[in-house]
Amino acid sequence: MFELSKEHEDFRKVVREFAEAEVEPHIATWDRDHHFPVHLVPKMGDLGLFGLVVPEEFGGSRELSEDGPFTALCVAIEELGRVDQSVGITLSAGVGLGINPILTYGTQEQKDRFLPDLVAGRALAGFGLTEPDAGSDAGATRTRAVRDGDDWVLDGAKAFITNSGTDITSVVTVTARTGSAADGSPVVSAIMVPSRTPGFTVEPAYHKLGWHASDTHGLTFQDCRVPSGNLLGREGDGFKQFLKTLDDGRIAISALAVGMSQRMLEEATAYASTRTAFGRPIGTNQGVSFQIADLAVMVEASRQLTYKAAWLKDELEAGRRSVAEVKQAAAVCKLYSTEAAVTATRIATQVFGGNGFMEEYPVARFYRDAKILEIGEGTSEVQRMVIARHLGLPTA
């Protein structure tokens, strides 16, 4: 059984107080108005949430979290996600997809240029991987980058990119074909495209089922020219980079799902204890209480799987675990926790009955927000594929 340290539990209290004071009173309005609360980002930066896995050299606090910086990040994501999933994904994507690629693969100059503002919450960064015709099949990437003198010239489109169109978005890291291998397979590289670069267009925000207070856009590139020094890592390493990025991101999404399931357990328990029917609380009926009991089991299992994976990630960074272990644990926790969260919202909404269908109750918002958890950072089908491969099962 994985038990969080006192440091992590004390940190949980700090983030929970922040979420309940700064997010809870306003989120119903932000959700209704599809409003991205950009003012929250620097406040989250002041709390140190964007710098948990970043060295002090760039304004982060990684060295201060002796019990595991990535685990601390998951605690923060869980607590924000317990109050609102949109704010939770803003942090998850801001670190996992925005900061981490630059931190892991960037040059000293690139880190010095972008990380201090990202860590402080003065800026956000996006990660442009998915395309209109290339999701899990990233090998179908059509966006191209052609070398022209000292520049890369990009043409193509990306879809469903988080934190890509805010007023404080500073850069989006984009995967693009930069050539072809001898066998005809694409050579994919990662290139950083600063916001407001000529030829880089942020499309209008999507009208989404959920995550209404999160920033999500399509992106297009037409003769978009950036310096050759904006290449992130080595040319041709784009596939390796985004696979590593997704492994970490899956654990973070799992933490987001844990926060959702925890909130559904709290909401369903409270409602079943006070809502009466036929002269008694509905929680006295086994048809209700057994569902909530099942929900409690799912919460506990999700949390254990998630923090085991987070611990393995921290152990990997310390050189005590393998990449394969983390990859498998990430797929396992992401698969179970996200599917459990979808079930949790269904159970909670059912417990609330007709009230669960009303937007004045938070279970309705969480019900809408849940489905994307089974899709983003690799679908449930992809997670099953990863797990099966790790078990040594034959592949097509």
**Distance from C-alpha of 299 to C-alpha of 363, rounded to nearest angstrom:** 16
Reduced to 3 states, what is the DSSP secondary structure of residue 92? helix
Residues forming the active site: 377
The owner of tokens 């970043």 is 54
Spatial neighbors of 2 by CB under 8 A, at least 6 apart, are 304, 307, 308, 311
The rounded distance, in Å, linking the Cα atoms of 153 and 176 is: 10
Q: Which of 369, 362, 304, 305 is nearest to 332 (CA)?
A: 305
| Chain position carrying tokens 């390796």 | 240
DSSP output for 179-202: EE-TTS-EEEEEEEEETT-TTEEE
Q: What is the rounded CA–CA span in Å between residue 361 and residue 363?
A: 6
Structure tokens that stand for 331 in this block: 């797929």
Do the beta carbons of residue 155 and residue 223 sit within 8 Å? yes
Give alpha helix (H) positions in the chain: 6-22, 27-33, 40-46, 69-83, 85-93, 100-105, 108-120, 238-274, 286-317, 323-352, 362-370, 380-390
Beta strands in 181-284 (DSSP E): 186-194, 200-205, 216-227, 231-232, 276-277, 280-281
Q: Return the SS3 of 220.
A: strand
Could you give the CA distance from residue 55 to residue 72 in angstroms, rounded to a whole number? 14
Judge whether 82 and 155 are in contact, CB under 8 Å.
Answer: no
Six-digit token string for 100: 């981490």
Closest to 60 measured CA to CA, from 45, 43, 74: 45
Q: Which two tokens stand for residue 211?
A: 């995550």
Three-state DSSP state, 66: coil
Distance CA 59, CA 158 (A): 30
Give residue 59's region: left, alpha or beta (phi > 0; psi -120 to 50).
Answer: left
